[in-house]
Structure 1
């Protein structure tokens, strides 16, 4: 913009992924601004140009970019009406990077964009389409939903009498399944078992990659069971209303309230709402879920203990423990309560290597590939970050200054923070399943991979890190962590010095030289997609973060 200077700050996803919004055209992350006549005065143009990948059929018609404030699931946008027109977008590189690049490097990078990456594509489309129509995530969703619909259809036609009699139980069972899919303690065990069982040289690579895809996309089971629980509860409520002589107004009222809360929670989790209003989603999901759980207990007790003839309740423990609904609800309660029992307020050593990032150090070593959550107030918000640790006495997190909380870590470093005692395993943890892996990171996405350099692990890793001003933005300590390794093992590309590279091509080259079995990338959605697509085109399995992993 000619008359106003626009600066772009850095951003990171809720999984600790960092990326830049407006790279140069040579980059696979490049976006094209609209013509000058389409810009309105001093308004800041946000180039949400994202196109879905892994498409089976070409997509026609793009979803228009949203002007609402996106959530922190991918990034937090915050437009401040000050003199600098600051746009806070979570990353470690600024839009005016060309000012710091050599002229030759800028000219060298002005290559045409690959065909098919039109500017009409919207960043929001990657949220709604989530990298295609037939991803593993969507397949798991459809399988869960289809199995439940088939069972319900059989029950409605009288071919499945147990399901018709126990429709509420099937709804509760789906709630238990979706809760287990989000139990960080259980998933930590499942990931550990997968690595121990499959992380052997004789296990075929296809089995390892299929397991990685499945574990990364368990959110599809979670959402599929959520929708199925609503369907079963509606069916149970219809049957109860039809047989109201053998029920009570209290049971019908409580069931209706549960249905309303679950529907509210599901609507808040819809990708569009979740992306644009992440805080609304998080709080609605949490508090509506807790309230629904309390009402489920009331519903179970009322339905089990109700005597239709005298129209009274026999509130005896002996009746409750004989029914499956009681034990399923108890299991749900344990799974939900367990992680909250590990929440602690612990001391933290916070420092800011620059005005754009902070480093938080905690006591205790953590194994490679693990992530953690921290919070200034445990019932309001939780933030997930990759953990850097040598596995010995301490671990630390690297946070970009984005929203109020992360900015306060720089301006007013805390002495204590709330943490969850159970750290969770994600895609990076599955690096341990393979023998040779290339890790690709941009910006502060490096944090989740550094542990593989600092401590022994079963996989031999090659790290490719693209960032701007490594020491200036991330500090001397982070720079030293990536120093001292052979160039073929750690490739650090500082864009402030060397200009912006084609990260996808860098990843393929590194994978071929390293003879890697798989490539794992943490970048922005479009950048991750480009790296994954490029690697798969070269016959190299690759994985990147998804919006609901």
Structure 2
């Protein structure tokens, strides 16, 4: 049985996983009527399912839809088989040709494609979860943070850390504050800006810059570890409370137990298999369980501070007591960090165009700096989708969305006039390109949107862009093609697989990085492609980074 539509994301790249028998087939329309995007409910999952493509659907794309908008359509139109269900290996096929080619080669001179070699099929999920390595910076941060918390728990339980034993709930709240900081887009925007300002100087050693890039890219490891640690500390606090129940109230125990249950649900929903295979389930559980737990945390603090174990009653004089408690100030900070992004949510007018059935271009007012990403939503309490932003930093910016899932396909078949946005854009891995002097940016498919701004506006980094895709103008339109045109041949390299056939992307990246003298390589591709390019560059002694799909 085929799996249902699933959504997953990475830092700076959003994608939807939609496996089916033929990954290159045009989806047949369903029977239900599609609803207008400008009138979508805030809780659309409570409504009946809608049709994505009506009978008056879009025209067939030059390339068949893939299961990831950064995937490459590398095969000929008549070469479809059941083996194509799995992700195509990017490392196989033709190597980059020795002689120079124009940026956009003529389709009339298409090379003869070589027969497809036998390939070992790999699960996309196994690449995401396993093949990125057991000792990544993300996992190291996770282990270090969890180890510190375990040591603290053991010391508290054995009586060697009396402060933690007496304030176990405070340690749980402190972990929640830490995980919130690691995911606060407003805080991280400032942190990334400071990193670029302080370290983006030519005399700063490259190892310092790459270590900072690895750390900032992998803060999700601290986020995940603090989530588990907060549960452990709260369990410990609840056990101590139950052992000393004569000095507490049943209300405090009940509220603490509900908070613990909600935190456990959030952690289970964030488990990688659930997060990557059922992303909407993860997102809604994480959001609504978190909000409910925060409300109950306020109730817990008020109850514990106002309860008098001697009189077995609650005091009405809370003001002076509250401001003297660390738990109160930690919870205030958590509340502010959670509220900030929602204060910037707005429903804004957009202009959506679809050069083909493969992708849509969404335009917004206002210029944006290079390397910044944004989130859009048809209904803000339901789902958010992150995309790279294309802008010349002047009057407008745009997003390039590959039509691979229900939401992104609806942008093509039923373009909305308005979308919800978070006006505070966030910084991810692409923003850290500004920290380096010379960088190679490697993209496949619609992943180019993350890097186009570096060609359209002045940036501190001197970049070379390598783009491997199929049918540039047919799939992405003249506007995107013009953005890639007019640059020196050594600065912009476009490999159109519809003309030149399947490339060896990893070797192309290594060769281009050496020619350019790149200090770092940043890649945006599918999980397997990103892994292979990063590994090949590191093997050649060139620092390289790609999305880590940590959330």
Normalised by the length of structure 1, the TM-score is 0.83
Superposition pairs of residues 269-288 of structure 1, within 5 angstroms: 269-288=270-289
Q: For residues 19 and 372 of structure 1, do their structure 2 counterparts lie closer, same or farther at Cα, with a shift above 3 Å needed?
A: closer
* Separation of aligned partners in 2, 1:219 and 1:130: 18
Superposition pairs of residues 100-249 of structure 1, within 5 angstroms: 105-107=112-114, 110=116, 118-119=120-121, 121-129=122-130, 131-249=132-250
Does residue 314 of the first structure (1) align with residue 291 of the second (2)?
no
- Secondary structure class of the residue paired with 1:521: strand
Contact 1:169 1:324 in 2 (8 A): yes
Partner of residue 521, structure 1? 523
Structure 1 segments unaligned to the other structure (5+ residues): 1-8, 22-42, 48-77
Q: Identify the range of structure 1 (293-302 vs 406-415) with the bigger mean alpha-carbon deviation.
A: 406-415
* Separation of aligned partners in 2, 1:201 and 1:103: 43
Partner of residue 328, structure 1? 330
Contact 2:52 2:410 in 1 (8 A): no
Contact 2:66 2:72 in 1 (8 A): no
- Secondary structure class of the residue paired with 1:340: helix
Partner of residue 437, structure 2? 435
Shift of 1:532: 0.6
Shift of 1:89: 1.6
Shift of 1:239: 0.3
Shift of 1:445: 0.2
* Separation of aligned partners in 1, 2:440 and 2:288: 40
- Secondary structure class of the residue paired with 2:112: helix
Q: 1:329-381: CA deviations, max 9, x gaps?
A: 01000000011000011111111111121111111100000000001111111
Partner of residue 532, structure 2? 530
Q: 1:279-304: CA deviations, max 9, x gaps?
A: 00000000000000001111111111
Partner of residue 294, structure 2? 293
Shift of 1:127: 3.1
Q: 1:100-155: CA deviations, max 9, x gaps?
A: 99885312x75676xxxx43x43222233261111100000011100011011111
* Separation of aligned partners in 1, 2:345 and 2:339: 11
* Separation of aligned partners in 2, 1:505 and 1:112: 19
- Secondary structure class of the residue paired with 1:486: coil
Q: 1:61-120: CA deviations, max 9, x gaps?
A: xxxxxxxxxxxxxxxxx999x9x9x9762336546436599885312x75676xxxx43x
* Alignment match of 1:477 (pick from 463, 476, 479): 479
Does residue 305 of the first structure (1) align with residue 299 of the second (2)?
no
* Separation of aligned partners in 2, 1:483 and 1:460: 17
- Secondary structure class of the residue paired with 1:546: coil
Partner of residue 30, structure 1? none
Partner of residue 90, structure 1? 68
Contact 2:16 2:68 in 1 (8 A): yes
Partner of residue 95, structure 2? none
Q: For residues 12 and 444 of structure 1, do their structure 2 counterparts lie closer, same or farther at Cα, with a shift above 3 Å needed?
A: farther
* Separation of aligned partners in 2, 1:137 and 1:105: 43
Shift of 1:411: 1.1
Does residue 357 of the first structure (1) align with residue 336 of the second (2)?
no
Contact 2:52 2:406 in 1 (8 A): no
* Separation of aligned partners in 2, 1:444 and 1:538: 27
- Secondary structure class of the residue paired with 1:322: coil
- Secondary structure class of the residue paired with 1:215: helix
Partner of residue 505, structure 2? 503
Does residue 44 of the first structure (1) align with residue 21 of the second (2)?
yes
* Separation of aligned partners in 1, 2:259 and 2:275: 21
* Separation of aligned partners in 1, 2:135 and 2:427: 25
- Secondary structure class of the residue paired with 2:197: helix
Contact 1:127 1:272 in 2 (8 A): no
Q: 1:255-290: CA deviations, max 9, x gaps?
A: 000000000000000001111111000000000000
* Alignment match of 2:403 (pick from 401, 404, 409): 401
Superposition pairs of residues 414-453 of structure 1, within 5 angstroms: 414-453=416-455
Q: For residues 170 and 12 of structure 1, do their structure 2 counterparts lie closer, same or farther at Cα, with a shift above 3 Å needed?
A: closer
- Secondary structure class of the residue paired with 1:252: helix
Contact 1:343 1:418 in 2 (8 A): yes
- Secondary structure class of the residue paired with 1:441: strand
Q: For residues 529 and 127 of structure 1, do their structure 2 counterparts lie closer, same or farther at Cα, with a shift above 3 Å needed?
A: closer
- Secondary structure class of the residue paired with 2:400: strand
- Secondary structure class of the residue paired with 2:376: strand
Partner of residue 32, structure 1? none
Superposition pairs of residues 359-398 of structure 1, within 5 angstroms: 359-398=361-400
Shift of 1:13: 4.8
Contact 2:110 2:499 in 1 (8 A): no
- Secondary structure class of the residue paired with 2:113: helix
Partner of residue 6, structure 1? none
Could you say what the CA RMSD is over the residues aligned between the two structures, in angstroms? Answer: 2.6
Shift of 1:500: 1.3
Contact 2:345 2:421 in 1 (8 A): yes
Contact 1:137 1:217 in 2 (8 A): yes
* Separation of aligned partners in 2, 1:280 and 1:260: 17
* Alignment match of 2:456 (pick from 443, 454, 457): 454
Q: For residues 144 and 18 of structure 1, do their structure 2 counterparts lie closer, same or farther at Cα, with a shift above 3 Å needed?
A: closer
